[in-house]
Structure 1
Amino acid sequence: MGEKIAAIVLAAGEGKRMGSGIPKQYMLIKSRPLVYYALKAFEESAVDEVILVTGEDEIDYCKEYIVDRYHFNKVKKIVPGGWERYASVYFGLEAIEDADYVLIHDGARPMISAELIQKCIYYVKKYRACVVGMPSKDTIKVVDEENYAIRTPERKTLWQVQTPQCFEFDLVKKAYEKMMENDDGKVTDDAMVVETYGNVPVKLFEGGYDNIKVTTPEDVRLATNLVRVRKVFHKLHVLHDKLIYLQMKAYKKRFREKKQKK
């Protein structure tokens, strides 16, 4: 049997910065809930199972109106999230019964693709712990309590970290268990948990600047445009493949006709 790969999709946030009456993961992007796009990418990937983490009172809604409606058969469990992101990840890890690797992804990042997931699988098998990110394009300032700049890190050493964040399952599970035992709520991402409690270096590799996290109303507009562009490119790709197919078909027909004349 091959190695088993699981994914955790986090969709338990309240989305306070969005200023909307509904959680951001259910806001519509091109007539689909935001979390739909991440689940669709994992459904079309080499991942074996998906654990969806959401609000406790939203589990039935997710099952009926998202998982069942869009036939996301790889979603094996829908579990309630925790008081913070790290707790939701921990509960997601607890729900996985058996896996060799796990990819942890924010459901509010709709631009993930099956191709990026395949890249994640390649790197996690090679490095044990890796995360998607991109080199920072902006100068970053470290500020004091009054927002005065006190230091400017060298930009070439800075990356913007994204998701998926990918790990050997046993490695990240044990690291999270140690973190929970220490009641350490200062961690900001899964890589930090593994760095601190797993003592394993985390490899960064490039995803894409379009792999945005939808957090504000401006992000919704940007995500809508990105989804629209992706659909257009997909249609053009399909059209291109069809044209190539027709050209090859016509070529083979002419070849057979010439052969028959001889």
Structure 2
Amino acid sequence: MKTYTVMLPAAGSGRRMGAGFNKLFLEMAGKPILIHTLDVFEQDPCCTGMILSVKEEEKRQIEEMLDRFGITKVVALVEGGAERQQSVAACIHAHRSGEIVLVHDAARPFIKREVIHELVDVAHVHGAAIAGVQVKDTMKYASVGIVESTADRSKLWAIQTPQAFRYDLLKEASEKAEAEGFLGTDESMIVERLGHPVRVVESTYDNVKMTTKEDLLFGEVLLKQRRQEDFS
């Protein structure tokens, strides 16, 4: 099996969650969201290390959290930037070894291991691979509130994380974006600007990002369901 390092931007806020603090510290089933996510990679033998971008003022709290919950694979805590892309760039600079790197939302604790491994395999062969699911709803173009056309949803994917890349490719894309002042919405976007093809790996619909209070409720249901599956 091929190994990888995972980079996790963890310097966000709880604005949309209404928490008033970093939403990753909110708990589900007695553990912070952040720990649920990190534990996925902690338990994966193919993961050789985790790099987290964090707020400087939260660094000690996160270190204590890692120790409390037995997370041992974090190899670096770097200071995050004002934007996600800057936080990922800080992780890229801190990376020391390993050909394949993943970037994953720290607020997505329900990614499945088989999806991770397929992403790593595809990135190893093709250079870049991203997780996604095909959209279920009818999608329409309506720039000013009036329908212009209906999109072919068979060609539309809702993109998630992880996103997997050869390290040198992601580093080149990050440095080019920084030099040109370009701000992308995800890592795939800056790699696409190099003209490099990005493959889509089918993920699962329960790989949701914990963003709102409703997501937390859904997360509790998923945790309960997975515990039942483990004991069945």
* TM band (smaller chain): over 0.9
| Counterparts of residues 57-136 of structure 1 (less than 5 Å) | 57-65=57-65, 67-136=66-135
Tell me the distance in 2 between the aligned counterparts of 1:14 and 1:169.
28
Residue-by-residue CA offset, 1:184-205 (whole Å, 9 max, x unaligned): 12x1111011001x32100001
The CA distance in 2 between the partners of 1:85 and 1:140, in whole Å, is: 27
Q: CA deviation at 1:56?
A: 1.7
Corresponding position of 1:189: 186
1:3 Cα deviation from its structure 2 partner: 6.5
Superposition RMSD in Å:
1.4
Counterpart-to-counterpart distance in 1, 2:146 and 2:56:
41
Distance 2:100 2:7 in 1: 11
Verify the 8 A CA contact 2:28 2:216 in the aligned structure 1: yes
Aligned residue type for 2:178: M
SS at match of 1:17: coil
Which segments of 5 or more consecutive residues in structure 1 lack a partner in the other structure?
A: 237-262
Q: Quick one: distance in 2 between partners of 1:130 and 1:44?
A: 22
Q: Point out the structure with the larger helix share.
A: 1
Partner SS state of residue 162, structure 1: strand
Distance in 1 of aligned mates of 2:113 and 2:154 = 29
Distance 1:83 1:151 in 2: 36
Distance in 2 of aligned mates of 1:158 and 1:38: 27
Amino acid in the other structure paired with 2:107: A
The residue identity in structure 2 corresponding to 1:141 is: K
Shift of residue 177, structure 1, vs aligned partner: 0.3
1:221 match: secondary structure: helix
Q: Which residue of 2 aligns with 1:176?
A: 174
Q: Residue in 2 aligned with 1:29? A: 28
Identical-pair percentage: 34
Letter paired with 1:213: K
Bigger radius of gyration: 1
Tell me the distance in 2 between the aligned counterparts of 1:156 and 1:113: 24
Q: May I ask how many residue pairs the two structures share in their alignment? A: 231
The answer to whether residue 212 in structure 2 is matched with residue 216 in structure 1 is yes
**Cα drift, residue 4 of structure 1:** 5.3
Query: Aligned partners of 2:147, 2:19: CA distance in 1, in Å?
Result: 33
Query: Does structure 2 retain, via aligned residues, the 8 Å contact 1:3–1:100?
Result: no
- Cα shift at 1:116: 2.5
CA distance in 1, matches of 2:157, 2:113: 23
Supply the distance in 2 between the matched residues of 1:232 and 1:4 (Cα, whole angstroms). Answer: 29
TM-score norm. by structure 2 comes to 0.95
Which of structure 1's runs of 4+ aligned residues deviate more than 6 A?
none
For the 8 Å contact 1:25–1:35, the answer to whether it is kept is: yes
TM-score, normalised with respect to structure 1:
0.84
Could you tell me whether the CA contact under 8 Å between 2:2 and 2:121 is conserved in 1? no
Q: Distance in 1 between matches of 2:112 and 2:140?
A: 32
- Between the aligned partners of 2:21 and 2:231, the Cα distance in structure 1 is 32
Stretches of structure 2 that go unaligned for 5 or more consecutive residues are none
1:42/1:117 contact within 8 Å kept: no
Structure 2 CA distance, aligned partners of 1:106 and 1:206? 17
For residues 103-138 of structure 1, give each alpha carbon's deviation from its aligned partner in whole angstroms, at most 9, with x where no partner exists: 000011110133332222222112210001001111
